[in-house]
């Protein structure tokens, strides 16, 4: 694997998932602890920065969740996100965790659709997601 041809993607490393007071932490805390997820991700991004492309991909919703999709079509994960008021733009829970705080070397891709990473690298993705250097 060549570093200059590699990207490492960090998906949903946000307070609502990774921190004790996060809205969805209770559902993932055992795995986060067992896998040492936050520390491993922190070590990985620190080693990767400047050597390969590093992308941070938070999932973000408007305060009213109107951008979450149609009721009855959403899966249980999105329904739980709405019920717990997780990942709302501008809230502590939606922020990327301090251990992975973006630097100028990272690209932050905001959105909700997993296919957004497959579109051409432009400032605005066709799915309505955006990418920016911080």
Mean pLDDT of the region 70-85: 78
Query: Which residue has 């920016």 as its token pair?
Result: 132
Contacts of 29 (CB under 8 A, 6+ apart): 20
Contacts of 108 (CB under 8 A, 6+ apart): 55, 56, 57, 58, 96, 102, 131, 132, 133, 134
Confidence at 70, pLDDT banded by 50, 70, 90 = low
Confidence at 18, pLDDT banded by 50, 70, 90 = very high
Boundaries of every domain in the chain: 3-133
Confidence at 132, pLDDT banded by 50, 70, 90 = low
Domain boundaries 3-133, corresponding CATH code: 3.40.50.850
């Amino acid at each position: 694997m060549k570093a200059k041809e590699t990207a490492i993607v960090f998906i949903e490393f946000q307070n609502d998932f990774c921190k004790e007071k996060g809205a969805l932490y209770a559902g993932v805390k055992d795995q986060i602890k067992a896998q040492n997820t936050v520390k491993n991700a922190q070590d990985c991004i620190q080693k990767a920065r400047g050597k390969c492309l590093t992308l941070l991909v938070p999932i973000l919703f408007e305060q009213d969740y109107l951008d979450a999709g149609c009721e009855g079509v959403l899966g249980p994960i999105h329904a739980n996100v709405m019920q717990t008021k997780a990942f709302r733009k501008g809230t502590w829970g939606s922020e990327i965790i301090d251990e992975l705080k973006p630097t100028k070397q990272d690209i932050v891709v905001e959105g909700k659709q997993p296919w957004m990473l497959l579109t051409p690298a432009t400032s605005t993705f066709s799915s309505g997601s955006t990418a920016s250097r911080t």
